[in-house]
A and B are shown apart, each in its own frame.
Chain A
Amino acid sequence: MAATNKIGLSKSDYKGAPTTLCQGCGHNSILSQIIAACYETDMLPEDIVKFSGIGCSSKAPTYMLDRSFGFNGLHGRMPALATGALIGDPTLTGLAMSGDGDSISIGMGQFKHVIRRNVPMVYIIANNGTYGLTKGQLSATSEVGLTLKKHGTNELEPIDVCLEAMASNATFVARAFAGNPKQVKTLIKAALHHNGTAILDIISPCVTFNNADDSLHSYAWGRENKTPIHDLSFIPARDEIMIEDFEEGTTQDVIMHDGSKVRLQKLERDYDPTDRIAAVQIIEEARANHLLLTGLMYISPDRPSLMDTLNLPEKPINRLTPDELRPSADTLETINAAMF
């Protein structure tokens, strides 16, 4: 019998349709880690709602969490869909999958505005520095010097996803490399428990169009050059007593909105992910030094989310009955009497 988690589901309960992405695509690896993270944190698939835009990344939600609702929307306009649906039922956990074309070119506006509103959702940008589904064009995150068959060499500076998120006052900014499944999974777990927009920039090599060994978005380069700022673990609120403490002075806990913790085990440098200026600085430094810096760059667990500001009832508004939605006839009489 297959192993089950605390709510009695096996990993296959979190699966989707068979992937049609290329073999070896970084996105498949991200999907596996989303499934593992949801399974391991005992999330009911029916409590999750998936969103995506258009592109290879945005096809991905079909290949996971079949039991969850999902909406594959427009190119670059997924955040608005997610915003509306999550207002309808804020008890759902939003899980969005996008790409560098979808979020950083056509969807830059919505990317930044969903962050500004701090809509509670996990927002993964599977970043491969190229347009895959239209067969290999340069993207806004392509590095300078990247040469693609039909498009020559990129001479424009790339846009840094994490820096854009920071500039928009994101409350959760992290970067990972798809080739490091453990880190990806831990960051997804933390993101799932964040009460706000959790931006996850996951460098995800495109094995078909952008995987030359010297490309920043390749497996080879990623393995050689990734520099974690800390080792991470995620502790759901209910598990806390079961986890042994790390040695004092080498860890830092960030308490999430729901009481769970992200535990950061420090590596070489002392890094505080709640320090906004520090976050911008390490992102800029990594960019200047061509390092693939990974980890939780920034977190602000207490800023109100959009839902906190809307003064919504406990019962999701999509379940309100006609009686709760249509004001009584006498109120209209009062209004008519004042119409003049």
Chain B
Amino acid sequence: MNDKVINDFTITVGTANGSGSQTSNLTILRALFKMGIPITGKNMFPSNIQGLPTWYTLRLSKDGYTARRDEHEVIVAMNAKSFERDLEDVQPGGVFFYDNSIKMPIERDDITAYPMAVKQIIKEAGIPSSLKTMVANMVYVGILAQMLGIEMEKIKMALDFHFKGKEKPVSINMNVIEASAKWAAENLEKTDKFYVEPMDKTDGLIMADGNTAAALGAIYGGVQIVGWYPITPATSLVEKMSYYLPQLRRDIDGKNTYAIVQAEDELAALGITIGGAWSGARAMTSTSGAGISLMGEYVGLAYFSEVPLVIWNIQRMGPSTGLPTRTSQGDLKQAMSLSHGDTKHIVLLPASARECFEFGWKAFDVAERMQTPVFVLSDLDIGQNQWASEPFEYPDAPMDRGKLLWEDDFDEFVAKHGDWGRYKDVDGDGIPYRTVAGNRKEGSSYFARGTGHDAFANYSEDPDIWMEGMNRLALKHNTARQYVPDAIIDNVEGAKIGIIAYGSVDPAVVEARDLLTAEGLKTNYLRLRALPITDTVKDFLRENDKIFVIEMNHDGQLREILTVEMPEESTKLVSSTLNNGLSLTAKWIRDDILAKKEK
């Protein structure tokens, strides 16, 4: 027998969509997490409610890597429709667990195959027929537990958590799991080399998905009005808000300090958001793909009338409907300039669930400080998959409501400055002072509009006034550089090659740098966290001889943006992109950089 492989392999489970396998997969994930093993769970699912093949991948990494891998050492095949493909996907030397009611040939001698008597185990466990399909997936939980060494006590903890301590479902599922483990002990002889063993690498960590984190971050950021429309993969963000808001944001009289409105489409969703923000509430929307495109016209209005709000884009794949259940970073350029006629937006780029929480509240501060829409670009990978993470960190700064004038502030302002104009640049930073609908002070009102306007919000078609307004907006956008989250840099002594990446590419870059170091190539790394870029980014471009810009879109959108920002450094930039709907792997990044290094 080969040497044992402990806590460093990937388990993939193939099931049929809608068969209830998510509970089983999360149970394994949580049990391994509770055993202290660094683990990441990714769902590969079709755009379908029931029937099509779906996969759940659990990456165990004793070294703490969380990126996707292409290799599957352990595959569980529960679905006849994907059986052949699943069999083919097992790494040489790997393990193949399969439901023995699937009568298909297994013509591979380089792997270990274990049959699972799913029907028999369920039958003998005396499960009511109405529950059979749901608990059938617990069979592989029990068999994997037995064959890999997952602790039963941790599985019980995971089920208790999942079913919120409800006795009955926990015991039904636990019975099946125990029966399955027993069956495996009696009927299967372990001949493979894959084992799990307890570690202490998850102490103090939490397990979370980015959409839940974003929802919570927004709640701690004081979100008040949410206009939204369902779209994959953004829906769960607002659903989580609906779950947490009643617990966290009711006043002493039991009244809501917030409102969520499901609109008739994304345009209306953003319209509600803009209206709310214009009245001074903290307002946001969350969408993806086609929803962002539909919002384009309203984004322009918010930009030009200078309404502060937050738009989360949980990016999905491709133009039009594309691949709604696959991930991508294809919306960067769109977010930067969405809408017609010289618009420029602030874009925040979270790379983890924890950062989704942080940007959840921070985005409101940036938006209100800058009086403009702020995009937060997450993606399906961050948003919907399960990540081990440092706990969410309570906001380390008080809310920044920006230059907002209520009645008393308005009096003070006028006493100091003589008059007030909604779009008058008093401080020279391009950011005017705003009043909001509901301010009852006579003279504080103004007529917001998408048409040309002067510093006092009066309609104007005057060319000079138009230019003045646009120049101030450009100045304001420049001012934003000092308010957006700065890039994070990890420089290595002696490295001349740089890597720039953002968002969900980060875990693969982190791992790829270790692989490159092993190949003798040291790299510096800049993780971009916002647009417009800051001086940190400019310096990084200057300091490195060659810079790989790694992203999940077809044409290298960030590279293009950097080229425009710093044309004098642009020849150093090398685009490294892959956009096939799957998150990047460290190996792909390593190979691409090695291949392009000398060119």
Q: Are A317 and B278 within 8 A (Cβ)?
A: no
Q: Is A109 an interface residue (CB 8 A)?
A: yes
| A71-91 interface code vs B (CB 8 A; 1 in, 0 out) | 111100101111111111101
Q: Are B227 and A84 within 8 A (Cβ)?
A: yes
Determine how close the nearest CB of chain B comes to the CB of A323; give it in whole angstroms: 9
Q: Are B275 and A71 within 8 A (Cβ)?
A: yes
Q: Are A317 and B258 within 8 A (Cβ)?
A: yes
Chain A positions within 8 Å of B30 at CB level = 340
Determine how close the nearest CB of chain B comes to the CB of A79; give it in whole angstroms: 8
How many positions in chain A have a CB within 8 Å of any CB in the partner chain?
A: 58
Q: Are B450 and A74 within 8 A (Cβ)?
A: yes
Q: Is A95 an interface residue (CB 8 A)?
A: no
Using A69-B448, A325-B224, A339-B207 as known contacts, list a sample of 5 further A-B pairs with CB atoms less than 8 Å apart, ordered by residue number in A: A83-B227, A84-B279, A311-B255, A312-B255, A326-B220
Q: Which of A47, A79, A317 contacts B224 (CB 8 A)?
A: A317
Q: Are A49 and B437 within 8 A (Cβ)?
A: yes
Q: Which of B216, B283, B441 contacts A335 (CB 8 A)?
A: B216
Residue from A110, A312, A325 having most chain B Cβ neighbours under 10 A: A325
Determine how close the nearest CB of chain B comes to the CB of A263; give it in whole angstroms: 32
Q: Is B540 an interface residue (CB 8 A)?
A: no
Q: Are A326 and B259 within 8 A (Cβ)?
A: no
CA distance A331 to B401 in the complex (A): 23
Looking across the interface, which residue of chain B has its beta carbon closest to that of A66? B445
Q: Are A67 and B445 within 8 A (Cβ)?
A: yes
CA distance A74 to B450 in the complex (A): 8
Determine how close the nearest CB of chain A comes to the CB of B387; give it in whole angstroms: 10
CA distance A324 to B255 in the complex (A): 12
Please name the 3 residue pairs, one residue from A and one from B, whose CB atoms are nearest each other, closest first.
Answer: A84-B275, A80-B271, A88-B279
Q: Is B395 an interface residue (CB 8 A)?
A: yes
Q: Is A8 an interface residue (CB 8 A)?
A: no
Q: Are A113 and B264 within 8 A (Cβ)?
A: yes
Q: Are B257 and A313 within 8 A (Cβ)?
A: yes
Q: Is B501 an interface residue (CB 8 A)?
A: no
CA distance A203 to B41 in the complex (A): 61
CA distance A339 to B451 in the complex (A): 47
Q: Is A318 an interface residue (CB 8 A)?
A: yes
Chain B positions within 8 Å of A339 at CB level = 206-208, 212, 391-392
| Contact sample, A vs B, 11 pairs, CB 8 Å cutoff | A46-B440, A67-B443, A69-B446, A80-B274, A84-B273, A84-B278, A88-B224, A88-B437, A89-B437, A92-B438, A113-B263
Q: Are B275 and A86 within 8 A (Cβ)?
A: yes
CA distance A110 to B281 in the complex (A): 22
Chain A positions within 8 Å of B207 at CB level = 339-340
Which segment, of B43-51, B166-174, B246-254, B569-577, faces chain A? B246-254
CA distance A306 to B253 in the complex (A): 20
CA distance A72 to B457 in the complex (A): 11
Q: Which of A44, A84, A109, A332 contacts B225 (CB 8 A)?
A: A84
CA distance A335 to B446 in the complex (A): 42
CA distance A82 to B268 in the complex (A): 11
CA distance A74 to B459 in the complex (A): 16
Q: Are B394 and A84 within 8 A (Cβ)?
A: no
Q: Is B562 an interface residue (CB 8 A)?
A: no
Chain B positions within 8 Å of A259 at CB level = none
Q: Are B261 and A87 within 8 A (Cβ)?
A: yes
- Chain B residues 384-401 with CB under 8 Å of chain A are 391-392, 394-395, 398-399, 401
Chain A positions within 8 Å of B219 at CB level = 327
Determine how close the nearest CB of chain A comes to the CB of B551; give it in whole angstroms: 29
Chain B positions within 8 Å of A242 at CB level = none
Q: Are A81 and B447 within 8 A (Cβ)?
A: no
Q: Are A61 and B438 within 8 A (Cβ)?
A: no
CA distance A98 to B254 in the complex (A): 37
Q: Are A73 and B450 within 8 A (Cβ)?
A: yes
Q: Is A310 an interface residue (CB 8 A)?
A: yes
Determine how close the nearest CB of chain A comes to the CB of B165; give it in whole angstroms: 12
Chain B positions within 8 Å of A3 at CB level = none
Q: Which of A81, A86, A313 contacts B271 (CB 8 A)?
A: A81
CA distance A335 to B298 in the complex (A): 35
Chain A positions within 8 Å of B264 at CB level = 109-110, 113
Residue from B212, B399, B436, B438 having most chain A Cβ neighbours under 10 A: B438
Q: Are B438 and A87 within 8 A (Cβ)?
A: no
Looking across the interface, which residue of chain B has its beta carbon closest to that of A77? B271
Q: Which of A47, A72, A92, A316 contacts B449 (CB 8 A)?
A: A72
| B410-451 interface code vs A (CB 8 A; 1 in, 0 out) | 000000000000000000000000001111111101111111
With A312-B255, A312-B256, A335-B392 known as contacts, the answer to whether A326 contacts B267 (CB < 8 A) is: no
Q: Are A313 and B251 within 8 A (Cβ)?
A: yes
Q: Which of B222, B268, B392, B459 contacts A77 (CB 8 A)?
A: B268
Looking across the interface, which residue of chain A has its beta carbon closest to that of B244? A335
Determine how close the nearest CB of chain B comes to the CB of A283; give it in whole angstroms: 24
Q: Is B528 an interface residue (CB 8 A)?
A: no
Chain B positions within 8 Å of A74 at CB level = 271, 297-298, 301, 450
Q: Are A317 and B271 within 8 A (Cβ)?
A: no
CA distance A150 to B255 in the complex (A): 56
Looking across the interface, which residue of chain B has its beta carbon closest to that of A72? B449
Q: Are A84 and B277 within 8 A (Cβ)?
A: yes
CA distance A68 to B437 in the complex (A): 8
Chain B positions within 8 Å of A66 at CB level = 445
CA distance A92 to B450 in the complex (A): 22
Chain A positions within 8 Å of B279 at CB level = 84-89, 318
Determine how close the nearest CB of chain A comes to the CB of B443; give it in whole angstroms: 8
Q: Is A241 an interface residue (CB 8 A)?
A: no
Chain B positions within 8 Å of A69 at CB level = 436-439, 445-448
Chain B positions within 8 Å of A312 at CB level = 255-256, 259
Looking across the interface, which residue of chain B has its beta carbon closest to that of A50? B447
- Chain A residues 83-124 with CB under 8 Å of chain B are 83-89, 91-92, 109-110, 113, 117
Q: Is B280 an interface residue (CB 8 A)?
A: yes
With A318-B281, A327-B249, A340-B33 known as contacts, the answer to whether A85 contacts B399 (CB < 8 A) is: no
Q: Is B161 an interface residue (CB 8 A)?
A: yes
With A69-B437, A70-B448, A317-B257 known as contacts, the answer to whether A82 contacts B301 (CB < 8 A) is: no
CA distance A316 to B442 in the complex (A): 19
Q: Are A80 and B446 within 8 A (Cβ)?
A: no
Chain A positions within 8 Å of B532 at CB level = none
CA distance A82 to B225 in the complex (A): 13
Chain B positions within 8 Å of A92 at CB level = 437-438
Q: Are B255 and A332 within 8 A (Cβ)?
A: no
Q: Are A61 and B206 within 8 A (Cβ)?
A: no
Q: Is B265 an interface residue (CB 8 A)?
A: yes
Q: Is A62 an interface residue (CB 8 A)?
A: yes
Q: Which of B34, B261, B437, B458 contacts A85 (CB 8 A)?
A: B437
CA distance A110 to B442 in the complex (A): 32
Q: Is B276 an interface residue (CB 8 A)?
A: yes
Chain B positions within 8 Å of A79 at CB level = 268, 271
Looking across the interface, which residue of chain A has its beta carbon closest to that of B204? A336
Q: Is A319 an interface residue (CB 8 A)?
A: yes
Determine how close the nearest CB of chain B comes to the CB of A309; give it in whole angstroms: 10
Chain B positions within 8 Å of A335 at CB level = 216, 244, 392
Determine how close the nearest CB of chain B comes to the CB of A78; give it in whole angstroms: 8
Looking across the interface, which residue of chain B has its beta carbon closest to that of A78? B271
Determine how close the nearest CB of chain A comes to the CB of B454; give it in whole angstroms: 13
Q: Is B326 an interface residue (CB 8 A)?
A: no
Q: Are B392 and A84 within 8 A (Cβ)?
A: no
CA distance A113 to B263 in the complex (A): 8
Q: Is A288 an interface residue (CB 8 A)?
A: no
Q: Is A277 an interface residue (CB 8 A)?
A: no
Q: Are A82 and B275 within 8 A (Cβ)?
A: yes
Determine how close the nearest CB of chain A comes to the CB of B153; give it in whole angstroms: 15
CA distance A339 to B274 in the complex (A): 32
Q: Which of A17, A68, A84, A327 contacts B276 (CB 8 A)?
A: A84
Looking across the interface, which residue of chain A has its beta carbon closest to that of B447? A70
Looking across the interface, which residue of chain B has its beta carbon closest to that of A310? B259
Chain B positions within 8 Å of A84 at CB level = 225, 227, 261, 271-279, 281, 283
Q: Are A85 and B275 within 8 A (Cβ)?
A: yes
Q: Is B210 an interface residue (CB 8 A)?
A: no
With A313-B251, A317-B259, A331-B248 known as contacts, the answer to whether A87 contacts B297 (CB < 8 A) is: no
